[in-house]
Chains A and B, each alone.
Chain A
């Protein structure tokens, strides 16, 4: 930003929080020399809601409805990390069926997130029509979510030790129908987009991040895999039951926007593969580990106090976090979504630090857009795939 004060013929444009392509409320202060970008300064915080502080005085079950507002396009992942943290902190086992249901939901959510990345990304480049096509497919995913959880976006479906309810009757068939249908529409997208010469002109070699940089900046997710590193937490950490399915990590080595596009398209196909395998091998059994609802503390609490448990169909949640600290991570569609929790032998977490992939990935933006054209800002920003809900939290 120092240059701009010296030379007067640069134009400083405020791509403010209300710009049509700023994916929410990101604000970029761009210094332009004609069409060339000299400098770019992102300003965050327009969607800050204090999610970490809110977590400190909510029980996990109270906090679960909030988390879908971090990354509101990959809602299942935020819920998954919110329950995975306490589960690993308290060493709680999840039944096999619950784990399978979780995997199906997560992968559906990954597809939904990648779809809603693809549409706006194409719209940023200028093609409006894919936006409508992806919404058509995304609606089917959300219909599946609505049938299983009751809501299209804010599911509140995952619970510590399992999921809230079992899948409804006929859901499995519906989901496998969707998988078959979705593969054909992916082929359609690829026909429409992948080899379009104008699209290639716009994305090839734009926003290149090489292997060294991508590690030094701490990027994750498709950003990392597009730069030639086969790093997928589903393979690395083996959480849930991902090791039981056959699938491949999608990666490219170019590191440009096209590589990121290809990685995401490939991931959608891989997700369909995982879902199909999970639907086929969906085991029976309980969908929630109810044992963990009992909590270890002094018996006979005073009647009608906060801790008092009434006998009910589902015992009221009074799970407490042990006095430990832990960093838990998960492979969200945007990258590594993690939380760092500190328990305090209490219903409330003492500290709840969110590691959002969008925030970490966004920090490389000023470096990538420097010496590019004005129109490339949108391509690069689109290919990073940020959601301001999780960047600002």
Chain B
């Protein structure tokens, strides 16, 4: 009996251990996600601050100054204010669509962060469809915008939503074709493999040198995907007041705001990953040998260096897109579609053709 009891106890113990382990594993899944989300949020705040400071510098103003050192906490203060603001709902709008719109656009953008390798093999999930997950998911965001535009019961919002849909559909195609050429070059769709394929010759191994046209097309169409200024027609202030955001207030407006900057960040990250060799150390001859020794000793250190390099490259592109925003005027909708279908699409197709044939010859 006694033996039985201990056996049962043992079984119970092991069972409970297993149970705890499962819970522990489930919890452990959430930890990296949480870390990612916190990191992403902080970088969005950084981008908002950068945008304000850079635009202030360009326009000979001062910009945020009083919240924190150099006003770094301004975005946080704005976000807190938006949290406490009244949540207005248009009385004759479709309340469900109105409420789901911002959530859908934010969630779909955050999901695409899961395939971005920030450092060497430092990625949330190394899927073998990698980049296409981003392309597939980023097409969901305009549905959110369309929903909110339709649910607002406002003609300006509706027009803004329609414009967002038209714009993202027409710029998705050149974007996809560029990504296709990249994946042909690296024989994989996985982002990790794409970064690895660029790591061979340091600075000169970047896809930027093998795909200069593709890089330009990707840059332009990713700007259009983010709805940044030369292409910010869905929220063109002078035409549609604020487009699909017109009726929003409080944290729902804040979600749209966050979504646009998240989109900017994810696009810049993808430019870095696809064309600038991601987390690879860019200068091949001087540092590499030194770094290899460190490589063996401190694994964490290398990861941090990788993240740092990725972010430096990313913020370079964010800087470029912010300065273009404050320099260029806005395109008209037909010119925007012309640019997408008559200029970027043929060029990216030609680029794809060239890439494919060169890959064929090299076989």
**Complex A–B touching at CB under 8 A:** yes
Interface of A with B (CB < 8 Å)?
11, 13, 19-21, 32, 35, 122-129, 132-133, 136, 192, 196, 198-199, 201-202, 373-378
CA distance A198 to B58 in the complex (A): 19
B329 touches which of A13, A126, A376 (Cβ 8 Å): A126
A132 near B330 with CB under 8 A, answer no
B59 near A201 with CB under 8 A, answer no
| Given contact pairs A13-B156, A373-B333, a sample of 5 additional A-B residue pairs in the complex whose CB atoms are under 8 Å apart | A32-B159, A35-B159, A127-B330, A192-B327, A201-B332
Chain B residues near A373 (CB, 8 Å)?
332-334
**Closest chain A residue, CB of each to CB of B238:** A21
**Closest chain B residue, CB of each to CB of A377:** B239
Chain A residues near B328 (CB, 8 Å)?
126-127, 196, 198
The verdict on B237 contacting chain A, using a C-beta distance below 8 Å, is: yes
CB pairs A–B below 8 angstroms (14 shown): A11-B159, A21-B237, A127-B329, A127-B330, A129-B327, A132-B61, A133-B59, A198-B230, A198-B330, A202-B330, A374-B159, A375-B236, A375-B332, A378-B238
Chain A residues near B237 (CB, 8 Å)?
20-21
B239 near A21 with CB under 8 A, answer yes
The verdict on B290 contacting chain A, using a C-beta distance below 8 Å, is: no
The verdict on B289 contacting chain A, using a C-beta distance below 8 Å, is: no
Chain B residues near A126 (CB, 8 Å)?
229-230, 232, 236, 238, 328-331
The verdict on B216 contacting chain A, using a C-beta distance below 8 Å, is: no
| From A21, A126, A377, residue with most partner B Cβ within 10 Å | A126
B60 near A374 with CB under 8 A, answer no
**Closest chain A residue, CB of each to CB of B233:** A375
CA distance A150 to B61 in the complex (A): 27
Q: Known contacts A202-B331, A373-B333, A375-B333: does B326 contact A129 (CB below 8 Å)?
A: yes
A132 near B60 with CB under 8 A, answer yes
The verdict on B41 contacting chain A, using a C-beta distance below 8 Å, is: no
B63 → chain A closest CB, angstroms: 12
B155 near A13 with CB under 8 A, answer yes
Chain B residues near A21 (CB, 8 Å)?
237-239
B331 near A129 with CB under 8 A, answer no
**Closest chain A residue, CB of each to CB of B332:** A375
Main DSSP-derived SS at the A contact region: helix
B330 near A125 with CB under 8 A, answer yes
**Closest chain B residue, CB of each to CB of A382:** B238
Q: Which 10 A-B pairs have the closest CB atoms?
A: A126-B330, A21-B238, A132-B59, A127-B329, A125-B329, A126-B329, A375-B332, A124-B238, A129-B326, A378-B238
**Closest chain A residue, CB of each to CB of B230:** A198
A375 near B59 with CB under 8 A, answer no
Chain A residues near B331 (CB, 8 Å)?
126, 198, 201-202
CA distance A132 to B58 in the complex (A): 9
The verdict on B359 contacting chain A, using a C-beta distance below 8 Å, is: no
A129 near B333 with CB under 8 A, answer no
B238 near A136 with CB under 8 A, answer no
Chain B residues near A127 (CB, 8 Å)?
327-330
Q: Known contacts A13-B156, A19-B241, A132-B61: does B229 contact A35 (CB below 8 Å)?
A: no
Taken residue by residue from 322 to 340, chain B's Cβ proximity to chain A (1 for < 8 Å, 0 otherwise) reads as 0000111111111100000
Chain B residues near A123 (CB, 8 Å)?
238
Q: Known contacts A129-B326, A132-B61: does B238 contact A376 (CB below 8 Å)?
A: no
A35 near B334 with CB under 8 A, answer yes
CA distance A201 to B334 in the complex (A): 11
Q: Known contacts A11-B155, A123-B238: does B332 contact A129 (CB below 8 Å)?
A: no
CA distance A192 to B328 in the complex (A): 9
| From B155, B233, B239, B334, residue with most partner A Cβ within 10 Å | B239
B182 → chain A closest CB, angstroms: 28
B25 → chain A closest CB, angstroms: 51
B239 near A378 with CB under 8 A, answer yes
**Closest chain B residue, CB of each to CB of A122:** B329
Chain B residues near A198 (CB, 8 Å)?
230, 328-331
CA distance A377 to B159 in the complex (A): 15
B151 → chain A closest CB, angstroms: 17
A136 near B155 with CB under 8 A, answer no
B156 near A201 with CB under 8 A, answer no
Chain A residues near B334 (CB, 8 Å)?
35, 373
A376 near B332 with CB under 8 A, answer yes
CA distance A266 to B73 in the complex (A): 45
Interface residues of B in 215-255 (CB under 8 A from A): 229-230, 232-233, 236-239, 241
CA distance A11 to B240 in the complex (A): 14
**Closest chain B residue, CB of each to CB of A131:** B59
CA distance A201 to B331 in the complex (A): 8
Chain A residues near B229 (CB, 8 Å)?
126
| From A19, A21, A35, A122, residue with most partner B Cβ within 10 Å | A35
CA distance A373 to B233 in the complex (A): 13
A20 touches which of B155, B238, B326 (Cβ 8 Å): B238
| From B155, B232, B330, B332, residue with most partner A Cβ within 10 Å | B332
Chain A residues near B236 (CB, 8 Å)?
126, 375
